[in-house]
Structure 1
Amino acid sequence: MSADPRRRIPRTDDLLALEEVQASPLADAAVRAAIDEAQSAARRLEIAPEEVAPRVIAAVSSARPSSLTPVLNATGVIVHTNIGRAPLSPAATQALVDAAGYADVEMDLDSGQRSPHRGLGAKKALLAACPGAEDALVVNNGAAALLLATTALAEGGEVVISRGELIEIGAGFRLPELIESARVDLHEIGATNRTHPADYERALARPNAKAVLKVHPSNFRVEGFTASVSTEQLRPLADETGAALIVDLGSGLLHHDPVLPDEPDIAAEIAAGADVVIASGDKLLGGPQAGILLGRAETIRKLKKHPLARAVRVDKLRLAALEATLTSADVPVREYLHADPDELKARATALASAVGGEVVAHDGRVGGGGAPGFELPGWAVRLPSTLARPLRTGTPSVLGRVHDGACLIDLRCVPPAEDATLIAAVRRAQEP
Structure 2
Amino acid sequence: MDENKQAQLRRLPGVDRILEYGTNNQQFDNIPKTILIPSIRKTIEALRQIIMASDKALDEAMFALDALVAKVCDHASRAMALRLKRTINATGVVVHTNLGRSLLSPAVLDNLTTIASRYSNLEFDLKAGRRGSRYSAVEDILCELSGARAAMVVNNNAAAVLLCLDTLANGREVIVSRGELVEIGGAFRIPDVMAKSGAILKEVGTTNRTHARDYENAVNEQTGLLFKAHTSNYSIVGFTAAVGLNELVAIGRRHQLPVMEDLGSGTLVDFSQYGLTREPTVQASLDAGVDVVTFSGDKLLGGPQAGIILGGKTHIDRIKANPLTRAVRIDKMTLAALEGTLQLYRDESKAVQQIPTLRMLTMPLAAIASRAADLKSRLEKLADGRLRVDAMDLASKAGGGSLPLLNLPSRCIGVSVDGMSANGVELWMRRHTPPVIGRIENDRFIMDPRTLQEEELEMIEKAFARMLADKASKR
TM-score of the pair, normalised by structure 2: 0.83
Which amino acid is the alignment partner of residue 223 of structure 2? A
Give the C-alpha shift of residue 389 in structure 1.
Answer: 1.2
Is 1:106 the counterpart of 2:113 in the alignment?
no
Structure 1 residue aligned with 2:148? 133
What are the equivalent positions in structure 2 for 1:52-91 lying under 5 Å apart? 52-60=68-76, 66-91=82-107
Is 1:201 the counterpart of 2:207 in the alignment?
no
Is 1:419 the counterpart of 2:457 in the alignment?
yes
**Unaligned regions of 5+ residues in structure 1, if any?**
none
d(CA) in 2 for partners of 1:64 and 1:324?
Answer: 33
Structure 2 residue aligned with 1:308? 324
Structure 2 residue aligned with 1:38? 43
Change (3 A) 1:422 1:211: same
- Which structure: larger Rg? 2
Query: Which of 11, 24, 29 is matched with 1:5 structurally?
Result: 11
Moved more, 232-241 or 250-259: 250-259
Q: Do the aligned residues in 1 keep the contact of 2:18 with 2:69 (CA within 8 Å)?
A: no
Give the C-alpha shift of residue 163 in structure 1.
Answer: 0.6
What are the equivalent positions in structure 2 for 1:18-417 lying under 5 Å apart? 19-23=26-30, 29-45=34-50, 48=63, 50=65, 51-60=67-76, 66-101=82-117, 102-109=119-126, 113=130, 115-130=131-146, 132-204=147-219, 206-258=220-272, 259=274, 260-328=276-344, 329=351, 330-355=354-379, 356-384=388-416, 385=422, 386-417=424-455
Moved more, 252-261 or 308-317: 252-261
d(CA) in 2 for partners of 1:157 and 1:189?
Answer: 16
d(CA) in 2 for partners of 1:249 and 1:418?
Answer: 33
Q: Do the aligned residues in 2 keep the contact of 1:15 with 1:35 (CA within 8 Å)?
A: no
Give the C-alpha shift of residue 16 in structure 1.
Answer: 5.9
Structure 1 residue aligned with 2:57? none
Give the C-alpha shift of residue 13 in structure 1.
Answer: 6.1
CA RMSD of aligned residues (A): 2.4
**Unaligned regions of 5+ residues in structure 2, if any?**
52-61, 345-350, 380-387, 417-421
Number of residue pairs matched by the alignment: 427
d(CA) in 1 for partners of 2:450 and 2:184?
Answer: 25
d(CA) in 2 for partners of 1:256 and 1:233?
Answer: 22
Q: Do the aligned residues in 2 keep the contact of 1:364 with 1:375 (CA within 8 Å)?
A: yes
d(CA) in 2 for partners of 1:429 and 1:418?
Answer: 16
TM-score of the pair, normalised by structure 1: 0.91
Q: Do the aligned residues in 2 keep the contact of 1:16 with 1:22 (CA within 8 Å)?
A: yes
d(CA) in 2 for partners of 1:192 and 1:399?
Answer: 36
Q: Do the aligned residues in 2 keep the contact of 1:294 with 1:300 (CA within 8 Å)?
A: yes
Give the C-alpha shift of residue 353 in structure 1.
Answer: 2.6
d(CA) in 2 for partners of 1:375 and 1:336?
Answer: 13
d(CA) in 1 for partners of 2:95 and 2:264?
Answer: 12
Q: Do the aligned residues in 1 keep the contact of 2:159 with 2:307 (CA within 8 Å)?
A: yes
d(CA) in 2 for partners of 1:399 and 1:117?
Answer: 41
